[in-house]
Structure 1
């Protein structure tokens, strides 16, 4: 069972106080274990706002979200029948059919909102039978240091402390878990031998219905029962960290039976569908679907050889208490490495990255359980654009770890050899004045808040910031103005802030030119560091 209290807090961040994660999955299995699932996820609008904006996502933003769902799903060999729609003012629905060879490898992204409760469908084969189970993803067991030392003398004090911690999260959790639903239906390739906590549908399938409010009700009962908490703590179990020691009691409350959520079947010999043919058809259809969604037409190419990576700095936090505002380095518990890479060529930008593996010398997996944290966010380029620096946030290594066996991943970067200079078509330097290129619009011309006595002009453009090489502002006589530049960017939207350096007001008219990079090429750059000490230095 995943850590429930931490899960509630993470969900609060991921879903917002009025969160929604309503998932319906319909599985069809073949006797060999291959299958397909119609995956439908209804997500809260709050999950989808781009760059922190409170505005509803644009059509272009929604297409990016759909592409991300496809790209970040694990264990899926092919997608088909993809659709999406805005539902009302605050919900978005993604739907698609995913094909898989091994259900044990399948994990959907769902905008990164990880809810590790009854989230895992697994399949195993024993004695000629197929056993399909629904359970919660396993997280690393908490270190002994995280479990309070409880005796008969202090157990009542620990119970009171635990109940207080739970109450701090209860109101927030109520809003979150009431919006979580997971409905699953299974079309099985054989004869059912036995099943538990699954219902038979009219067409012969088996179905499971989980609603988060039931889990919350169970937690309320447990956390208000001092005798149950005393028993759990004296057995060495912390219910807020690992849930109840008797998971079947939870299953009974949520589904009706004190048993696993599973079905055992004797598989037949005939597949329910032609997996190879349908996957081939899906693969043939997908390029046009991807193009409609705005995916790059050209495949990402591997960059040239010559890159080198090393650890530039290390941060480790052993104990962090957000509730009591005791946070070393103002960070949560974990292990962070700052990595410096020398690039094989001068680049335009490093757009994204993904951490793929992080393992200690004892085999401990250091990858964060939250997929969002496996992304490499905000990589920064050196002034000469030949080096990159980025951070990776990892789990804290166990006390037994002496070093890091491997850290690896991939970066994506852009290069461009050509530029094009364009007049934006903005003639008047007043708020609301629009141009005819890149959605140019003057947002405001006001006195600068941060530079008294100077004016500031804000220019909005619909273009990725990395595609802009330079912007120049000219007065009506064609004289280039001396300005300093700042910006705020989100996706393909950027607002530039310009302040005059000569303390003069902006003229009433003139023109603005932009120089943009053309023929951008996208490259992948794998990186791998091995045999490191916990200080990030190479081991001999």
Structure 2
């Protein structure tokens, strides 16, 4: 299962662990500090619990919150957390995470999404969707093995297609960033004023997979691209019409968009009461 998903999913964008809807809205300061509002709808994690020992809805919600706040890294404080079990039996989580360095941030445990980097390039700053395959060029596949792999991947895709179609059905991902400067260039991301946005749906993912598996030339090109970053770039091109990386170049990133120290201090002051009301254990710092 994981091998097939790795073959076709954008590993830089999605960790397909059951996320149905994901929204990450970042506000970023020039020094890399900022905040992100995370809004996800996912299957309840206890969906395979023994039927003779059903969990109470409030316990399912508490477990979901605990998993989310305990699994991240690079988070200085949380605020405005809410979580509920929807009438469809899914977990709807929403919260704001504060971070001092976006390059060290892993904010969304178990809900998919991608990590971002914020680096200086010349006179500009660049926000980039980090690839888990960054720096991994992969070994080129010998021509003699390509035809054999084409048949193998077609067979694997047909075997897994029903499950993948169900998994991707209704899936929506949106990652946006309000940036501290002027957007000079954008690739894959769309841009309006100083906000860059990347959107993808499960429908787009399935359409790309159908297209590739229905065209031997495309499938051979994907195989020849090798594993790693080459495959990521190939999939970006099939889905978005452009090769990766997904990035935004920002100029004039001088003034912060908000007072990080003040807001994070306020968030920290309210954490104890918030976690107590939610019935969860504060995450280790």
- Does residue 184 in structure 1 map to residue 198 in structure 2? no
Residue of structure 2 in register with 1:353 after alignment: none
Question: Kindly tell me: are residues 4 and 35 of structure 1, through their superposed partners in 2, closer, same or farther at Cα, counting changes over 3 Å?
Answer: farther
- Does residue 122 in structure 1 map to residue 122 in structure 2? no
Q: Which structure is higher in strand share? A: 1
Matches of 1:293 and 1:62, distance apart in 2:
9
Contact 1:49/1:57, CA 8 A, preserved across alignment = no
Question: Kindly tell me: are residues 62 and 227 of structure 1, through their superposed partners in 2, closer, same or farther at Cα, counting changes over 3 Å?
Answer: same
Residue of structure 2 in register with 1:225 after alignment: 215
- 1:422-470 deviation per Cα after TM superposition (whole angstroms, max 9, x unaligned): xxxxxxxxxxxxxxxxxxxxxxxxxxxxxxxxxxxxxxxxxxxxxxxxx
**Rg comparison, structure with higher value:** 1
What is the Cα deviation at residue 189 of structure 1?
0.6
Question: Kindly tell me: are residues 290 and 216 of structure 1, through their superposed partners in 2, closer, same or farther at Cα, counting changes over 3 Å?
Answer: same
Matches of 2:211 and 2:265, distance apart in 1:
51
What is the Cα deviation at residue 81 of structure 1?
0.9
Matches of 2:148 and 2:173, distance apart in 1:
37
Matches of 1:62 and 1:186, distance apart in 2:
28
Gaps of 5+ in 2: none
- 1:162-217 deviation per Cα after TM superposition (whole angstroms, max 9, x unaligned): 2112211111111112233211221111122211222234x752221111321222
Contact 1:181/1:212, CA 8 A, preserved across alignment = yes
What is the Cα deviation at residue 86 of structure 1?
2.2
Matches of 2:248 and 2:190, distance apart in 1:
10
Q: Matches of residues 81-120 of structure 1 in structure 2 within 5 Å?
A: 81-110=80-109, 112=110, 115=112, 119-120=114-115
What is the Cα deviation at residue 13 of structure 1?
9.8
Residue of structure 1 in register with 2:254 after alignment: 269
Contact 1:3/1:139, CA 8 A, preserved across alignment = no
What is the Cα deviation at residue 120 of structure 1?
2.4
2:203 to 201, 213, 218: 213
SS of residue in 2 equivalent to 1:245: helix
Question: Kindly tell me: are residues 185 and 14 of structure 1, through their superposed partners in 2, closer, same or farther at Cα, counting changes over 3 Å?
Answer: closer
SS of residue in 1 equivalent to 2:208: helix
2:273 to 259, 276, 288: 288
Matches of 2:77 and 2:240, distance apart in 1:
32
For the aligned residue pairs, the C-alpha RMSD in angstroms reads 3.5
Matches of 2:191 and 2:221, distance apart in 1:
37
Matches of 1:13 and 1:264, distance apart in 2:
28
Contact 1:31/1:267, CA 8 A, preserved across alignment = no
What is the Cα deviation at residue 67 of structure 1?
2.2
Question: Kindly tell me: are residues 139 and 200 of structure 1, through their superposed partners in 2, closer, same or farther at Cα, counting changes over 3 Å?
Answer: closer
What is the Cα deviation at residue 57 of structure 1?
4.3
**How many residues are treated as equivalent by the alignment?**
278
Question: Kindly tell me: are residues 224 and 27 of structure 1, through their superposed partners in 2, closer, same or farther at Cα, counting changes over 3 Å?
Answer: same
- Does residue 160 in structure 1 map to residue 151 in structure 2? yes
Matches of 1:69 and 1:158, distance apart in 2:
38
What is the Cα deviation at residue 264 of structure 1?
0.6
SS of residue in 1 equivalent to 2:172: strand
What is the Cα deviation at residue 31 of structure 1?
1.3
Matches of 1:284 and 1:12, distance apart in 2:
33
Residue of structure 2 in register with 1:40 after alignment: 39
Q: Matches of residues 292-441 of structure 1 in structure 2 within 5 Å?
A: 292-295=277-280
- The TM-score, its normalising length taken from structure 2, stands at 0.82
Contact 2:138/2:230, CA 8 A, preserved across alignment = no
- Does residue 200 in structure 1 map to residue 191 in structure 2? yes
Contact 2:26/2:177, CA 8 A, preserved across alignment = yes
Residue of structure 2 in register with 1:5 after alignment: 5
Residue of structure 2 in register with 1:278 after alignment: 263
Question: Kindly tell me: are residues 263 and 143 of structure 1, through their superposed partners in 2, closer, same or farther at Cα, counting changes over 3 Å?
Answer: closer
Contact 2:205/2:239, CA 8 A, preserved across alignment = yes
